[in-house]
Structure 1
Amino acid sequence: MTGDAVEVLRLGDRAVAEYVWRPSLPASLAPRPYLHPIRTLAGTTVTELMPASHRHHLGVSVAVAEVDGANFWGGRTFLPGHGPAWLDNHGSQVHLRWLRRRPDQLMHTLRWTGIDGSILLYERRTVSWQPAGPDAWALDFTFALTNMTERELPIRSPAAHGRAGAGYGGFFWRAPSGRCRVTAPTESVHGDRARWLSVAGDRWTLVFLGGDEETRGDRWFVRTRDYVGVGSSLAWDEPLVLAPHAGLRRRIVTVIADGDLPPGRAAAYADDFAA
């Protein structure tokens, strides 16, 4: 989009992703940095940006349904007893400064501001990438949030307000729509904890894993009906409350592979990349 500021992620001579760190977006989409397009080594795109049904889905981003009443997800806000509603409450994530810009890593700071310009959260974000074999590469995404207010900040999903199964909010990946297969070491992965999960589509596979113990304690949000989306949820059905000046840190590693990976190989990636 016109006015975007972009960093291109490369492995050798291949451009595998673009990181839009200062996007030009309307307020209703909760403007925030995002990764799109993300591609396999063979060039297959494995993200979607602003699809017609969910314009606020921005490739790969950190998107939270509610922080103390502010919507950092975009679109409508779920209200108990009412349902989704359009509110004038959208926040934004604004780039502050670069800490590192290397051929295999980007690190910068951001502030999360409410619609009135008040600063709610400070973020330190690191995006790293590396090869993961002849037909795959790994995206390592870490974010640390700090409460910048003098009050408690509750982080909530719609499920915390009573919308069953809608525990989304945190790291979120909008994948290409279409038929896909989800595999995990647990019988059911949506709303559950799993060491890893994989989503296989047409000529591609994504393997998601929590990169540290704290992230592995979060539940997965997985949707394959209507659209394909995977997220690591910060607050499933109970608020996550940050005390004044307290913080949290999460790390998610995603392996982006060509073809259809067998479960054994997906599990091996969890051994390779998890701390």
Structure 2
Amino acid sequence: MSHTLPDAPANGTQKAGLTWNDDGQAVEVAFDGVTLLKYTYVATDEQNESPRPFFHPLRTRGGDVVTAYRPHDHTWHKGIAWSLPHLGPDNFWGGPSYRRGKDYQWLPNNGAMRHQHTTTEADDAGTFTFAHSLQWITQQGALVVEEERSFTAVPGEDAESWTLVFETAMTNVSGADIHIGSPTTEGRENAGYGGLFWRGPRAFTGGTILGPGGATGEELRGKRAPWLAFVGQHDETCRFSTIVMVDDPSTGHPQPEWFARSEPFPCMGPAPFFSEEVLFTAGSTLRFRYAVVIADGTSDAGRATGLADRAAGLLKETAGQ
């Protein structure tokens, strides 16, 4: 079903002009005629790719795509997705599982996140919110997690950026405690991926990773920081784009460690289970919240910091809404 929110009066340089379409499997959201996101919430991927909702494509306001879907090197990478490789013995990331002393192994443990029901909301400022419930089902058919998830698409203060706010609340309904970890907690050094994970276009390979205080490069992998950014250049248009991911400290978790790579492929994400397992007790709820800024153009340390600061302000303003 298609929906249109008529243009609202200009607010500075910001202009509403929101449209969205939901076909019962995926929702697409556009601002000013540019489709900025598609969120597939009923995934039909193969079981060994851990079917789960994902964002792809994601575009800048200028129309450049900043995500990759099923890249040949890791077909279970899906744009931006909430993915956990070590939820106890189960894999909700996709692909093989890392086991201490045994390297990666294909195991019958790839679970799936199954959509239950949705709600949507839009306002006159051009902000769109989508919320839904999910059940996490192991490959053997056991229900282990019930999740309430939402995302909000917010147009930027200018015509060169917009922000995706992602929020999840996961409840352990397995009846037992679960340890959430990563390949690093299983013994693989500096490979603590898991959480909200972005896979960038192959053209972004060799791009620039930026962190607070002017820090750059893959040495930021495994470091704690409130945000991280990636700058890449597109094929065809030869334009640049900037992705900034910002953690919401109001959830009460420690500042996240980050998984980020520029080679052999571009990826980035706050990894809350990077180096230490987290005990997910039976019946408890874990909450995480992030902002992802998607901006046209290249960024130096100053611009990346400014985008991160604005996103952090947005998280603070909208906390609890």
Query: Per the shorter chain, which TM-score range?
Result: over 0.9
CA contact (8 A) 2:134 2:146 kept: yes
The corresponding residue for 1:26 is 46
SS in 2 for 1:158: coil
With structure 1 as the length reference, what TM-score do the two structures score?
0.95
* Percent identical: 30
CA contact (8 A) 1:93 1:111 kept: yes
Question: What are the residue-to-residue correspondences of 1:44-193 with 2, within 5 Å?
Answer: 44-102=64-122, 104-132=128-156, 133-177=158-202, 178-185=205-212, 187=215, 188-193=219-224
The corresponding residue for 1:250 is 288
Deviation at 1:130, TM superposition (A): 1.1
Cα distance in 1 for partners of 2:166, 2:73 equals 26
Cα distance in 1 for partners of 2:145, 2:222 equals 26
Deviations 1:210-238, CA, capped at 9 Å, x for gaps:
12343561211111111111111121122
Residue type at the aligned position of 2:273: A
Cα distance in 1 for partners of 2:77, 2:87 equals 18
Deviations 1:162-217, CA, capped at 9 Å, x for gaps:
00011011110001122201111154421111122210000111111112343561
Deviations 1:8-47, CA, capped at 9 Å, x for gaps:
0222322101000102110000000000000111111100
The corresponding residue for 2:236 is none
CA contact (8 A) 2:151 2:164 kept: yes
Q: Which runs of 5+ in 1 are unaligned?
A: none
- If you compute each CA radius of gyration, which structure gives the higher value, 1 or 2? 2
The alignment status of 1:210 with 2:255, answered yes or no, reads no
- With 14-23 and 216-225 compared, the bigger mean Cα shift is at 216-225
Cα distance in 1 for partners of 2:151, 2:72 equals 28
List 4+ stretches of structure 1 deviating above 4 A.
none
With structure 2 as the length reference, what TM-score do the two structures score?
0.81
Higher strand share goes to which structure? Answer: 1
Cα distance in 1 for partners of 2:131, 2:172 equals 19
CA contact (8 A) 2:178 2:279 kept: yes
The corresponding residue for 1:198 is 229
CA contact (8 A) 2:206 2:263 kept: no
The corresponding residue for 2:273 is 235
Deviation at 1:4, TM superposition (A): 8.3
Aligned-CA RMSD value: 1.6
CA contact (8 A) 1:210 1:216 kept: no
Q: Which runs of 5+ in 2 are unaligned?
A: 1-22, 234-239, 317-321
Residue type at the aligned position of 1:130: V
The corresponding residue for 1:266 is 304
SS in 1 for 2:110: coil
